[in-house]
Structure 1
Amino acid sequence: MHRPSVRSLDGLVLAPVADQAPGQVGTRTRFTYHEKDGEVWAEYAGGDVVRGHLVGTREGDRLDFRYVQLKRDGTTSSGHCVSTVVELADGRVRLEETWEWESQNGSGTSFVEQIPSGLMSSTPTD
């Protein structure tokens, strides 16, 4: 298996750098990542998302995962995402994502970045 050039995602908290469409993941959403032996998973919530989960694999700096989420309006949705793990100049991690809904129409790209440890206490949940 190819060794990742960027450190483990285990325990990192990441947030989107921009809002997506209304009712979706946005800058108030927080992802808590876990990683072990090529497996990657995360829980996420915030903004319009009450609860979300993702699960997949990591090979090198490539993540491939499925996600499911429950929104505040009571609807659920699911999709597929492929991400590239990048280390920023300041040492934080950024995921450059290409995603596609499987439960509805839509696809796009997004970026999530590691939250600096000094800002971790300000994790919004609504």
Structure 2
Amino acid sequence: MARSLDGLVLSPVADQAPGQVGTRTRFTYHEEDGRIWAEYAGGDVVRGHLVGTRTGDLLDFRYVQLKQDGTTSSGHCVSTVVDLADGRVRLDERWEWESQEGSGTSTVEELALS
């Protein structure tokens, strides 16, 4: 099993469609006893939250976010935790909106320490 996500800050490696998370979005993860949650913000997202569970290297969570235009949206995501060769963590994600049409894949990676 990959290391704990607790306290890690991750960011998407590429921008999604306008009004969604992008490379300026930062996710701060927390993990305890198989439960995960995170706060996120940046880019088109004013504030977002996710909450779910972790079983081994699989995360299953729901997310909700407030965007710059004042609208909200929510969805479901399943992610696989991958340990990178340089010691950082990557999440390979499959997501689907529940409040609107749309689904896709994305990748977020732990920010490198500078």
TM-score normalised by L of structure 2: 0.99
Deviations 1:17-46 (A, max 9, x none): 000001100000000000000000000000
Matches within 5 A, 1:84-123: 84-118=80-114
- Which of the residues 32, 56, 71 maps onto 2:28? 32
RMSD value, Cα: 0.3
Displacement over 2 Å in runs of 4+: none
More strand by share: 2
TM-score normalised by L of structure 1: 0.90
| Structure (1 or 2) with the larger CA radius of gyration | 1
Please give the alpha-carbon distance, in whole angstroms, between the structure 1 residues aligned to 2:108 and 2:47.
Answer: 17
Identity, % of aligned positions: 83
- Which of the residues 19, 23, 32 maps onto 1:23? 19
1:60: which partner in 2? 56
- Give the superposition deviation at 1:75: 0.1
Q: Gaps (5+ residues) in structure 2?
A: none
